[in-house]
Structure 1
């Protein structure tokens, strides 16, 4: 197998974890980061803390102004609100044979990437992982989820999909899924995440804390059902296995599961309100499904954004 050069935009939670595991396995990985992060990575390396094994790795890092090569694969691991800037940052690295694997939440970004680079260069991708970056810059894996799922938008099992899968052959702490239904899987994840983010952010609580309230379980499962119906209307009905799994997850009174959006709110950070909850609300409206819970959740997170902006003035 020919050597494949991999560019990872972002060395935060998701990019740092999956890119770090690739680098740990000996693959040619370069992180595209801001100058401040580059300096820290050059000085201290990248530290992963995980139940699947801690690692301290010397990594290669570059900035957008220094980018002067094209890459076989580009893993796009940024927040949705940084997508426009990310697209311009990676543009010089996109060649004739480059494949872009976006690991953003939701599905709205696919249309933007297709418009800029052409659908033939864009794979679908999804990461199922709870991970964060500590104040020291360490990548901290929070549970046993470590799945990376990807595939062609066309549903073809192409040679480049197989090649990307092979890159992770010796990477530990990563479960790789090369699939021929990635758009279906991305929509299913959107159903999961829009439900979990709406409820945990609006209630400022974990799944278990919400379920232990008098009507929490009922509200959770009703929103899950609504979002599944929205996905079905738009051509991506969730599987029965998916629904059974998340009905169980959203009914567990002992669950400590929270979403990254809630953690961002708790740390007074920017959030992906429009890309996740707002997108699902728009799709709900276009399906003529009036969902009050989604409206309230979206109002809640947008009000948070307003308060955060006022605090910065």
Structure 2
């Protein structure tokens, strides 16, 4: 299977490196600056008492446009702000049988990719991986063993191409699964990440710090309830057992957990506020679901985003 990984950051870089290390035909579509760094240093994955390196096959957007190649599988791993440009860049790589697996959170990207490439080429997917990019070296820091990818057709049908992709991923040591409904799985992850993102960004602390003070646990619970209500109104209710698992995480005492969105906020970096929160509260309004706490978190993040954009 000929695989194109769009982006060689913390998530796409690690998945792509795992596939390449397993012998798959993997090419990374990257920006010229990232390509230069990777050609000089290689793609390195470090952490968990391990370190490994590959010499990645790289292509830039200009090179791909000059010599189009149709790939069997595209792993699209970019931030929401880079989605439009990434979709334009990978156009020459998409043929009639190309399967695109987006590795973004939320739902808005699915609609954008469906419009650009057709829903028949785009799978629903949920990525779970704990990695970050070392800003000094460009190395991928793997913070936990989790490397999971849930994927499936958007309409919930089981097809041979999904199983073929799953088998390739599994062969590289990736925990690849086909859920009953991939779009529902995307909704459920969206519920969790907006809950923990809203909690930590509003309170400017770790999960443990927030739950250590009066009112912290009540706030976490109320945020989760709002997000679950939106998912249920959209036709993707979170099962009681999964809701309890999420609640246990966001109300854990002593937990040092913070999401990547909070780390971006604390460092003064842009966040995916519109993709994750703006879209959620807009859907809530259309569905008639009140979300006052999520609205407050969205406003908070929008103020931060406006400040970042003003100074950049």
TM-score (norm 1): 0.95
Deviation by residue 1:8-29 (Cα, 9 ceiling, x = unmatched): 0000011011111111111111
Q: CA deviation at 1:52?
A: 7.9
Q: Which runs of 5+ in 1 are unaligned?
A: none
Does the 8 Å contact 1:25/1:168 carry over to 2? no
Q: How many residues align?
A: 308
Q: Which residue of 2 aligns with 1:270?
A: 270
* Per-residue CA distance 1:256-294 (angstroms, 9 max, x = gap): 211111111223222100011111111222222222211
Q: 2:143 corresponds to which residue?
A: 142
More displaced stretch, 281-290 vs 177-186: 281-290
Displacement over 6 Å in runs of 4+: none
Per-residue CA distance 1:32-62 (angstroms, 9 max, x = gap): 0000101111111111124284311111111
Looking at structure 2, the residues matched to 209 and 129 of structure 1 have their Cα atoms a distance apart, in angstroms, of 24
User: Which residue of structure 2 lines up, in the alignment, with residue 5 of structure 1?
Assistant: 2
CA RMSD of aligned residues (A): 1.3
Aligned position for 1:81: 81
Kindly tell me: are residues 186 and 176 of structure 1, through their superposed partners in 2, closer, same or farther at Cα, counting changes over 3 Å? same
Whether the aligned pair in 2 keeps the contact of 1:8 and 1:30 (CA below 8 Å) is yes
Which residue of 1 is the match for residue 95 of structure 2? Answer: 95
**In structure 1, distance between residues paired with 2:125 and 2:154:** 9
Does the 8 Å contact 1:208/1:257 carry over to 2? Answer: yes
The within-5 A match list for 1:125-140 is 125-135=125-135, 136-140=137-141
Gap runs ≥5 in structure 2: none
Give the structure-2-normalised TM-score. Answer: 0.95
Equivalent positions of 1:239-254 (< 5 A) are: 239-254=239-254
Matches within 5 A, 1:12-27: 12-27=9-24
Of stretches 217-226 and 277-286 in structure 1, the one that deviates more from structure 2 is 277-286
Match of residue 199 from structure 2: 199
Residue aligned with 1:147, SS: strand
